[in-house]
Amino acid sequence: MRMARIWAENSYCQRRQVGALVVKDKMIISDGYNGTPTGFENVCEDENNVSKPYVLHAEANAITKLARSNNNSDGATIYITASPCIECAKLIIQAGIKRVVYGEKYRLTDGIDLLKRAGIEVIFLEV
Ligand SMILES: [Zn+2]
């Protein structure tokens, strides 16, 4: 979890920095932090300091990075420095991830609720 926190510092987003690591068989198989897609400018917020709609969340970046690697997330654990949103929760379920460790509670719990409903082990770990 501390590593995920350090990884979050790579994010160039101003409003919020989130990091995610996917671990399988005690190895980190993917990583991500929130940011714009490859090839886009490294700016997450518009002139009104609102996050751009095409910013990817850290979890989404970590999972989609696996889609073009030789690894896969089936049965893996994901460490996220923040509570996953419902969109990322869907990706986590479909990626076959079995355990979610997250580090920051959010007022909306729909993502966490969905994960639990899918039978995924969810652990809150303060750092
Ligand atoms: Zn998300």
Please report, in tens digits, the pLDDT of each residue of the chain (127 residues total).
989 999 999 999 999 999 999 999 999 999 999 999 999 999 999 999 999 999 999 999 999 999 999 999 999 999 999 999 999 999 999 999 999 999 999 899 999 999 999 999 999 998 6
CA distances from residue 63 to 25, 32, 70, 96 in whole angstroms, order as listed: 17, 8, 12, 10
For 96, left (φ over 0), alpha (ψ -120 to 50), or beta? left
Q: Which of 9, 41, 45, 59 is catalytic?
A: 59
Find the 52 Cα to ligand 1 centroid distance in Å. 13
Find the 67 Cα to ligand 1 centroid distance in Å. 17
**CA dihedral sign, ordered 38, 53, 34, 46:** positive
Euclidean distance between the first and final Cα of the chain, in Å?
7
Active site residue 59: yes
58 within 8 A of 38, measured Cβ to Cβ: no
Does this model's pTM top 0.85?
A: yes
Find the 13 Cα to ligand 1 centroid distance in Å. 14
Find the 86 Cα to ligand 1 centroid distance in Å. 7
